[in-house]
Amino acid sequence: MLILASNSPRRKELLALAGWAYMICSAHVDEQVQPVELPEAYVRRLAESKARAALSERCSASAGAETWIVAADTTVVSYSGAPGAYEILGKPTDAQDAERMLRLLRGRVHQVLTGLALLCVNDGRLLTDVCSTDVPMRDYTDAEIAAYIASGDPMDKAGAYAIQHDGFKPIEHLHGCYANVMGLPLCLLSRLLTQAGVHHQPGALVQTELARSCQQALDYICPVFHLYQ
């Protein structure tokens, strides 16, 4: 049994592709970046914090044996020309902030990081990992930015965009994990579950089948899924 520590429609959609039975236990934590915290450490810490927050909720009290909490945190990292200079972009605070982020990312390559945490309800075992994808944004126009912000879609997205948005279409090509940019790298999650010794449920997809299902659902030929076999 899995508990998804998120109410994100995108994460629920992706996890459903794997065929796992799961319940939802949304966890809310302080997402403030700590001083001099590196991006990878940031998403790993928040994923673990979300998993532990979900463990304290009543929904985990009724969980059976070998129940694992799945938690994830996704952020966008924009690097400047200066060595070691970067900005972690969370969800925009308002339309003006969304416009700032979209202008910052336009025509450049940025990084999307997702921290994953698996926490065993029974004995507190914890596994974490981080998936990284380089995302090249197209040179969209100011008018496209305005129309996209007016749609309201950017406001609950890290970096103020959704890679899968049919109207905006922020990227032209990608050479990494598409599901990671959406918020839940399925192949990495499957590998973590295997490392945890979690047995496949009846009807759940094994690794190769999962990669195929993910690519079909997202209409994307993934060049990196074999790295997680």
- Could you tell me if 31 and 90 are in contact, meaning their C-beta atoms sit under 8 angstroms apart? yes
Structure tokens at 184: 């839940």
Torsion-angle region of 92 (φ positive above 0: left; ψ -120 to 50: alpha; else: beta) = beta
CB-CB contact of 112 with 132 (8 Å): yes
- Across the strands, what pairs with 135? 110
Q: Given 73, 129, 153, 219, which residue is catalytic? A: 73
Active site residue 73: yes
Distances in Å between the alpha carbon of 153 and those of 77, 98, 146, 216? 19, 10, 12, 24
Which neighbouring-strand residues pair with 132? 113
Pairing, β 86-89 against β 126-136: unpaired
Contact 112, 133 (CB under 8 A): yes
> What span, in angstroms and rounded, lies between the C-alpha atoms of 166 and 124?
41
Are β-strands 2-4 and 22-24 bridged in parallel, bridged antiparallel, or unpaired? parallel
d(CA 172, CA 169) in angstroms, rounded, equals 8
Catalytic residues: 73
